[in-house]
Each structure stands twice: as structure tokens, then as C-alpha cells.
Amino acid sequence: MRISTSMIYESGTAGMLDQQSALYKTQQQMSSNRRILTAADDPAGASAALRVSQGLALTAQQQANQQAATSTLQQSESTLGSVGDLLQSATTLLMSTQNATFGAGERNAVASQLEGMLHQLIGLANSRDGAGGYLFAGYSETAQPFAAGAGGVVYSGDDGVRQLDVAAGRQLAVSVSGSDAFMRIKTGNGVFTSTANGANTGTGIIDSGSVANPAALDGHAYRLAFTVSAGVTTYDVLDVTAGSTVSTGNAFTSGNAISVAGMQLNVTGAPANGDSFDAKPSANQSVFQSLADGIAALRSTASTGTRYSQVNTAVANLYQAQDAIGLARSSLGSNLSELAVLGSAASAANVSQQTRLSGIVDLDYTAAATQLASQQVSLQAAQQTFSKVSQLSLFNFLA
């Protein structure tokens, strides 16, 4: 094989370029502290690193969602806590008027105070989150959900409950439906509601009642119709739904329980002739309407017994509203507790993934430094050798 001068030069140059390329790659690895700079460096390692990096990105997104969910849930929970406190205060005020020492002027003063609370309640129901969205509007978070009108407070949101992906396969609710929390609240004791006829003239007062026998409940509306004759008070039990009379001439004793179709009612005071009280299945009513009913009762010119009964009904409805708010708040608190657990798990997963990725792509700096020094010596030797070889010529040996 003939070795030409050009071949010597090309071979020497190619060798030095390869060594320079290897040296440059080592320098890049050391400056970036990464062993794998391209997939060609380690195809299997690069593939594993890609999978771990994707896992890290997913974990990071879940952690961001967890932070957003925590912020929204905390604000919603705090707002519902304020709503609960306000309803408790309103209930206490209403109950304080149930005594003979309160005159019309004092009742009107309390009613004015309750009106302020009603406006405050609407404001709380229209609270926004940190991004400007309404907390209790469902999916329609950009539109104000509650507005006071001539017929009372109306809800323009929807029943949607917003959710976020906070972990693998876990979507967590970060809101509560405004309709469930504020609008669809059972009246009375949650099973039935008792009311006094607005035209009553006696001092009879009915309580909110209780369920004595769940199996006997039939979903009908009933009426207690009182008769006073010769100083003796009796009452008839009428099935309003069926349009029939259940019993007549029942002896009445103030405070004694009256049982009707699984319901137990208590009427105190002295009903007048022709007075009546109704018990009917609970219906849905907004917390705003329940508070408005309490205000109307305080300003009513009806008899004392009727007004007391109306206030009792409003108080019972507000108790149901407090239960609904408490249930919604409990749900948010449960989600916050779950988020705390998921947050710890996500942090641990992030650390584990970071450690695994580091093991795949990070550089052994000590080994790389040794390799760099060796490559530098090899390159210098190659350069010096090439310099001497390139100076050799046949003429150097001709005399």
C-alpha cells in the first residue's frame, strides 16, 4: 500500500479533529453537568429520561392545580363560615323578640338590622375568588349569581361544581353549587313545616314540630281547626290534601303534643274560635326568603300569637339554612384535608422523580474531569507528533 504525503496529512488532521470533538463534548458535559446531551449519547438512557421528565411535568401541573384548588377552597370555606356566623346572629336576633317586653318600635329596629344582614348575605353569596370569578355561580363564574328583585333574590348561576385534576385519576371539587348552598333549602324541620293562619286572632303559637313516627308519614298536608264554645277549646284534624276530616272535637290542652300522621305538633297559648294551623311537607326555599320572612313577621300587624308563630317558622327555616351551609362547609373542609395529603404525596413523588432523573442524566464530575485531562494530553501529543511528522521530507536524508 502506498502512503502519500496527503494521506498522512488527512489522517493526522482527522485524528486531531476527532480528539478535539471528544474534548469539546466533555467540556459541554462538564459545563451543563449532564452526561446525556443528545439521544445519541445514550439512547436507552435518553428514553428513560424522557419518561421521567414527562412524569415530572405532570406532577408539576398537579401541584399547580393543588395550589389553585387550595386557594379557592380556603376562600369558599371562609366565606361560608361568615355566612354561618351571620345566620346565627340573625336567628338569635329573631328569637330575642319572642317576649312580651318587645314593642313595635323595638321589633322594627331589629327588622332594620336584619335587613342590613340580608344585604350583607347577598354580598357574601356574590363573593369572588382570586381570579375574579364568582365562588358560588357554578360553571357561570363570570356572571353575578345572586340579585335582589321585586320578588326576592333570584339565582342566575347553574348547578355546576368546578373540578380540578389534583392527582392521577383524581378530580377534586373546588366549589359548591350556589343553588344547593343558598336556594334549595328545606323548610321547617326538613320533613314538614308548620304555620299559623295569618287571620288568627288568638294567642295560640305553634312550634316547628318533630317526626314522631316516620313510618306514618304520608306526605299530606293537614290542618288543625280550633273551636271555642262555652269556654271549652277543641280542634278538628283535617286532611287538606285528601279533602277529608280525620277527627273532630279533640280536647285541647296548651302545650300538650298533638300527633297527626307521624307528625308531632305543639300549640301553646289560647287559640281563638276559628283559628287554624297547618302542617305540610317541607318545600325548597332560599335562605334569603327565610330571612325576609322573619323581617316581615316582625313588622306584621297580625295577632301576637300569629306573629310569634311566623317568627318560629322563620327561625326553623334559618336553622335548616345553617345546616345546609354547614354541610357545604364540611365538604370543602374535607377536600382541603385531602389536598394536604395529596400535596405531601406530590412533593415526595417530585423528589423521587428528580432523584431518578439525576441518576440517569447527571454527570460524574470527577470521572469527567479525569477524562478531560486525559483528552487534553492526548490532543497535545497528537498535535506535537503531527507537527514533527509533517516536517519530515526525503530531502532531509539526501546529501
Give the pLDDT confidence score for residue 172 in this predicted structure: 84
In a domain, 63, yes or no: no
Give the pLDDT confidence score for residue 367 in this predicted structure: 56
Give the pLDDT confidence score for residue 241 in this predicted structure: 97
Please identify which residue in the block is written with the cell numbers 320578588: 151
Give the pLDDT confidence score for residue 16 in this predicted structure: 60
In a domain, 256, yes or no: yes
Which residues, given as ranges, of the chain have pLDDT below 50? none
| Same domain for 233 and 162 | no
Which cell numbers hold the place of 138? 357554578
| Same domain for 205 and 164 | no
- The amino acid at 18: D
Q: Return d(Cα 306, Cα 205) in angstroms, integer.
A: 7
In which domain, by residue range, is 161 found? 70-187+283-362
- Give the pTM: 0.76
Give the pLDDT confidence score for residue 374 in this predicted structure: 63
| Same domain for 235 and 131 | no
Give the pLDDT confidence score for residue 345 in this predicted structure: 72
Q: Return d(Cα 21, Cα 24) in angstroms, integer.
A: 5
| Same domain for 102 and 175 | yes
Give the pLDDT confidence score for residue 368 in this predicted structure: 55
List helix spans (H) across 133-257: 178
Cβ atoms within 10 A of the Cβ of 317, count?
A: 27
Number of domains in the chain: 2
Give the pLDDT confidence score for residue 203 in this predicted structure: 93
In a domain, 28, yes or no: no
- The amino acid at 22: A
